[in-house]
Amino acid sequence: MKEPNTKARSRRASDRRGEVAFALLVAVLLLLNLAIFMVAIPETSNLDGGCCAPNQLLAKDFSAYYTAAWRLFHNPAQIYFHGPLNDGAPAILPEPEGYKYLPSMLLLVSPLLALPYGEALLAFDYIQFFLLPLIAALVYLLVRDKGTLVASGIAVAVLLLPLPLATPQWAVSASYYWQWAEGQSKVLETFLLLFSLAMAKSGRPRIAGVVFGIASFDPRFALLSLPLFLAYGSDLRKSAVYAASTILVTNLVLFYPSTLVGFVTMLFTTGLDTPPYYYSLIPMVTLVSLMVVDRKRIGAAIRGISGSDGPGSRGAPSLEGSGNDGHLSRYASERAGARHQVPSIFDTDVYRYVDYSVKGLK
């Protein structure tokens, strides 16, 4: 009996060392991202072409969110109008950028209307920066069964994205420089999608569906995440119902005829041909990295859905056997023995909610 206990203690000690190493790496990545953040802050008040429009004077991308959020409550018919209107909206020079997402995002941005435009942009950046540690924790929870090395590689890609792209000044990451400089929303988008996937993997389909519905304000990345959602979800029908309901409720303003006309016009003029800018790589690389790591589970999930009329095709792939790694069965076994486990450094109140069904710690 002593030998199994010794092996279990050795495994727990190894897991703890891996978690400590991952936490230290995340701390270094956050410091590097903070340096990028500080370099990018002065750019938020500059009038220039930004990352991709040289020789033009443009307001920052956040101007689109701020103006559209104001119009949501005061002039909803013009949410998708590109440019200034004589409707009392806050003046932004030279003119606000055009809004290109679903209206649901404006509900998230609307509290920032209490601040002047410049301060609201900085506040939006600050909020998203403080989401980065949570993003790191969610990445770890989603891939820790693959080992610390894999989780660390994805963390570097997600939190820094040091791609060989033209980068202003000495910033390490062009993607994050322009994310902060433009007041973009890609960190928020990444957080919501990862949180939704973590809820799906931990067997909470209602919460997963609601958060996925909120994250769908940019449908491109919601669609990209669907294979992961299929692989992690335990009750896809329930998640789909909650996601669809959330999308419907948070976008009711589209039923306003003039708003719908503006949305369709935007979609077929500037929306569909918008190229992926540097900051779009943040959620894109995150999701693609997870799909590469969990490609076998995704394949099993797709085969289960397209297969017979058995349990595997009714909302979620079969959780029995090796096809989908029996991940929920394995987690249930871990929960049964949770009282014998040493608490993890990630089992804080913030992470415990996400991790409840994965490790069963209370």
12 or 278: which carries more pLDDT confidence? 278
Q: Where exactly are the structural domains of the chain?
A: 13-293
Give the tens place of pLDDT for each residue, 138-154: 999 999 889 889 999 99
Can you read off the two tokens belonging to residue 261? 């006309």
Instruction: List, for residues 282-332, the tens digit of each pLDDT value.
Output: 999 999 999 999 999 998 888 877 764 444 444 444 333 333 444 444 444
Provide the token pair at 152.
């660390």
Q: What is the mean pLDDT of residues 117-129?
A: 97
Q: Mean pLDDT for the chain?
A: 82
Give, in degrees to the nearest 5, the angle at Cα 143 between 139 and 149: 95
Measured from the Cβ of residue 97, the count of other Cβ atoms closer than 10 Å reads 21
- Are the beta carbons of 153 and 164 closer than 8 angstroms? no
Weakest-pLDDT range from 23-37, 187-201, 329-343: 329-343
Whether pLDDT at 56 is above 90: no
Instruction: Mark residue 43 as left, alpha or beta (left: phi above 0; alpha: psi -120 to 50; beta: remaining).
Output: alpha
